Copies of this chain bind each other. A is one copy, B any other.
């Protein structure tokens, strides 16, 4: 809608300094699927889902690991801020990016009120990043209780998030509690004993859940794979992200329309050469994100 003359006069006089404002940051969960080579010449490399974290240089949470993020600059769009931040802080340039969730809890940053707009960033290249470290992600449910009540139910789930590499292991526990009284349902997600700075363990948790959810009905996984891949490689990616084994024959049928065979094969592997595939760009899904 166009501004009226009255609006323009109003805007000339407008001053927004009267309201106290929060700080706003963008934080990115940068993920990749990394090949983990084995010594057996026949074995294919396994895939590891990894997140890139930076060790904080300053208080608060000095020396703790955190997501790459920055306070926003009022002259940049949010998406551009994410790209600029990842390029300058860790050297990442080509990646897929989507908005994840906005965290605004009063106590999430001890400095001041900070609204954190989080982003999911996926990369398929192995370009060397700087300033931080990749961590293998291992997330599993350690307990899950469900109790039927008179009118509804209550549920309590504990999830352990373990981020590790050769030198560090970071842990966090995520607790999800759901109360349903037959009429209203309340869901609380809280972090306990996190080794990460701020609420970043929770943001990573949201990112993994988003990735798992979208895996099923979008082509999002291809942002984590090289442009040419074997079907087994694709399957290993699915399995790692979903945390469960898939049956080969069924998997191939299921993703058949999403991919296109190429003329290339991978050889010299001690087993039958495997055909390389690429994403079929004509495949589409009817969902909106």
Interface code A1-12, partner B: CB below 8 Å = 1, 0 otherwise? 101101101110
Interface code A56-77, partner B: CB below 8 Å = 1, 0 otherwise? 0011111010000001101111
Contact call B22/A72, Cβ cutoff below 8 A: yes
Choice from B74, B152, B183, B288 contacting A113 with Cβ under 8 Å: B74
Interface code A159-179, partner B: CB below 8 Å = 1, 0 otherwise? 000000000000000000000
Chain B residue numbers with a CB within 8 Å of A148 are 282
From residue 196 to 232 of chain A, which have CB atoms closer than 8 A to chain B? 196-198, 209-210, 212-213, 227
Complex Cα distance, B16 from A241, in Å, reads 39
Complex Cα distance, B61 from A264, in Å, reads 59
Contact call B102/A281, Cβ cutoff below 8 A: no
Contact call A281/B153, Cβ cutoff below 8 A: yes
Look across to chain B and name the residue whose beta carbon is closest to the beta carbon of A118.
Answer: B102
- Chain A residues touching B, range: 35 or more
Min CB gap A126→B, angstroms: 17
Min CB gap A120→B, angstroms: 13
Choice from B21, B99, B196, B198 contacting A23 with Cβ under 8 Å: B21
Complex Cα distance, B78 from A102, in Å, reads 10
Contact call B110/A3, Cβ cutoff below 8 A: yes
Contact call A281/B99, Cβ cutoff below 8 A: no
Complex Cα distance, B99 from A221, in Å, reads 25
Chain A binding surface, main DSSP class = loop
Min CB gap A159→B, angstroms: 11
| A117 close to B (CB within 8 Å) | yes
Known: A22-B74, A213-B288, A288-B213. A151 touches B281 (CB 8 A): yes
Complex Cα distance, B152 from A95, in Å, reads 18
Choice from B1, B61, B64, B152 contacting A64 with Cβ under 8 Å: B1
Known: A14-B111, A19-B23. A1 touches B195 (CB 8 A): yes
Interface code A104-120, partner B: CB below 8 Å = 1, 0 otherwise? 11100011110101000
Chain B residue numbers with a CB within 8 Å of A99 are 101-102
| A268 close to B (CB within 8 Å) | no
| A270 close to B (CB within 8 Å) | no
| A180 close to B (CB within 8 Å) | yes
Closest 10 pairs between A and B when the two form their complex, measured CB to CB: A10-B59, A78-B104, A152-B281, A21-B21, A209-B288, A7-B60, A16-B112, A102-B102, A74-B113, A7-B59
Some 9 contacts from A to B, beta carbons below 8 A apart, are A1-B64, A1-B194, A3-B110, A4-B59, A11-B60, A11-B111, A14-B111, A22-B74, A213-B287
